[in-house]
Structure 1
Amino acid sequence: MIPYFEYSGSQIFYQFKDNNSKKTLILIHGAGDNSNIWEYQFYLNIDYNVIAIDLPSHNKSNTFPELSLNLYVDVVKKLVDSLKPERLILGGHSMGGVIIQEYFYRYPNDVSALILCSTGGRMRVSQFIFNSIKTDYQKYLDYLRSGSFYRKTPKKIIDESILETSQIDPEVTYNDFKICDVFDTLEKTESIDVPCLIICGKSDQMTPVKYSQFFHEKIINSKLCIIKKAGHNVMLEKPKDVNQAIEKFINIENFI
């Protein structure tokens, strides 16, 4: 399978693991990030094909003149419509969680389950983040070392993640955070009626545990997994724990 699909004349890159299944798990990265943040989830032992996309203007996808939540949702919809999976699970990290929530509210019949990772139903962003991205991108990157990771996460993991983020255009990262900052669907959360796995790092500073606990309280058919010794980028910090939670959700607990 060619690792690009076309949207409005532009190329969108994705990573793909073909498990010879009619079911698909699509993973969406967060603000100023790319599909590589899901690298360990390609080792999942599940009966689903696994796809992680680079959103428009991120990493290997083409640059778009304007970025918005509508665009991101439309891109995911184009991919889903082209695949036509028998069952679809959407997973999203941080802003990716915003995107898959919005996707569900628009196209609930498409979705069999959601995986909400380090995200929230309302995502206010501090002025410090906006200012540092605009005036001193290195200052923002330095902040991520403590803001996105547990304090004892190995330096190699942090360095590799920061390098990925450093290659994203600061304007793209800024726009991503603007999307997060205005997102507020707390009043809709109770309407999520598909099985939902909620994952967060216990030491997450960007989207604190209380955000995930809110999801768990409001979504009837949900499972909450709080992972110790992990921060915002929990999938990189504790990939085995995250994968075990996803595999249990899909394979054992019969949520799907």
Structure 2
Amino acid sequence: MNYNVNGHTTYVYTGGKPLDAAKPTLVFIHGVLNDHSVWILQSRWFANHGWNVLAVDLPGHCRSAGAPPASVEDAAQFIVALLDAAGVQRAALVGHSFGSLIALETAARAPERVSHLAMVGTAYPMAVSPALLDSALNAPMKAIDMVNSFSHSMLAPPPSSLGPGTWLYGGSRALMRRVLASNRDANVFHIGFKACDDYKNGETAIAAVQCPVLFLLGAADQMTPPKAAKVLSAKSPASKTVVVQAGHALMSEAPDDVLFALRDFLTA
């Protein structure tokens, strides 16, 4: 489904279901050099179990036009504008990595618009090493290989989740290359990483959040280790933390565990 957001076409995956004003709405926000497809299992399940789903391609990524957000704050303003364009007054937000910071900032800026906040594979500060920032800008294929090495804790998921023969590294590399190639005018890889590295409002933002909060973390995550979320979770004493056996690519390495954690959080 396409919406006009800030004068540009924005693509959202809805799980094949039309929006129903009688149902609650869930917005999925991807991370750097990803798109809506990283949420495929979780978005389809919720779309078929009583929720409106908006799994968005951020501006400048794949099917969405416009300039890629250069800061977490800009991206948060986009999410509010997306809710306005979709006619959604209040939604639950689920964000992964860069997307988790976007969800956090949105919940802080527009608390009346956010019913739940789930931060998946998150950290604060979300510092990116100078070497990785430089590679994302000047040698993006090398950086894609680096990120994949850091993001995965297994070569293939359990057979019951994504099917026999699934190769997580290969699938992730292919997605990242496709997302990078989708924008010939801007390097969404470097822009996204720099936005993560530049974000300084996390502690103020988490203090302003007024809804239930979930920290959903990977035990073997090398990009955003579980301990890196403690700065935020300590300032949100009523929040819930769930740690699953996965790396940074939680949604593909532990899709069922991620789904069940989100289900339990959103339906509690």
Q: 1:190 to 1:10 in 2, by over 3 A?
A: closer
Residue deviations 1:80-134 (CA, integer Å, cap 9, x gap): 1233446410111011011111111211111111010011232111112112122
Tell me if the contact between 2:3 and 2:10 (Cα under 8 Å) persists in the aligned partners: yes
Amino acid at match of 1:237: E
The 2-side partners of 1:86 and 1:47 are apart by 17
Structure 1 runs (4+) deviating above 4 angstroms are none
Equivalenced residue count is: 249
User: In structure 2, what is the equivalent of residue 9 of structure 1?
Assistant: 7
Residue deviations 1:153-207 (CA, integer Å, cap 9, x gap): 4561221111111123371110111110011224322332310111011011111
User: In structure 2, what is the equivalent of residue 165 of structure 1?
Assistant: 176
1:146 aligns with 2:158: no
Amino acid at match of 1:102: E
User: In structure 2, what is the equivalent of residue 242 of structure 1?
Assistant: 258
Amino acid at match of 2:10: I
What secondary structure sits across from 1:226 in the alignment? strand
User: In structure 2, what is the equivalent of residue 47 of structure 1?
Assistant: 50
User: In structure 2, what is the equivalent of residue 233 of structure 1?
Assistant: 249
The 2-side partners of 1:117 and 1:65 are apart by 21
The 2-side partners of 1:145 and 1:27 are apart by 21
User: In structure 2, what is the equivalent of residue 178 of structure 1?
Assistant: 194
User: In structure 2, what is the equivalent of residue 27 of structure 1?
Assistant: 28
User: In structure 2, what is the equivalent of residue 116 of structure 1?
Assistant: 119
Residue deviations 1:212-256 (CA, integer Å, cap 9, x gap): 33333321321111001x1111011110000011111122xx2xx
Tell me if the contact between 1:122 and 1:185 (Cα under 8 Å) persists in the aligned partners: no
Q: 1:124 to 1:84 in 2, by over 3 A?
A: same
* Residue segments in structure 1 that go unaligned for 5+ positions in a row: none
Amino acid at match of 1:69: V
Tell me if the contact between 1:23 and 1:86 (Cα under 8 Å) persists in the aligned partners: no
The 2-side partners of 1:99 and 1:198 are apart by 14
Q: 1:171 to 1:203 in 2, by over 3 A?
A: same
CA RMSD of aligned residues (A): 2.1
Tell me if the contact between 2:61 and 2:68 (Cα under 8 Å) persists in the aligned partners: no
Tell me if the contact between 1:193 and 1:221 (Cα under 8 Å) persists in the aligned partners: no
Q: 1:11 to 1:43 in 2, by over 3 A?
A: closer
User: In structure 2, what is the equivalent of residue 201 of structure 1?
Assistant: 218
Provide the identity percentage: 29
User: In structure 1, what is the equivalent of residue 67 of structure 2?
Assistant: 64
- More moved, 218-227 vs 166-175: 166-175
- More moved, 133-142 vs 209-218: 209-218
TM-score, length basis structure 2: 0.85
Amino acid at match of 2:97: S
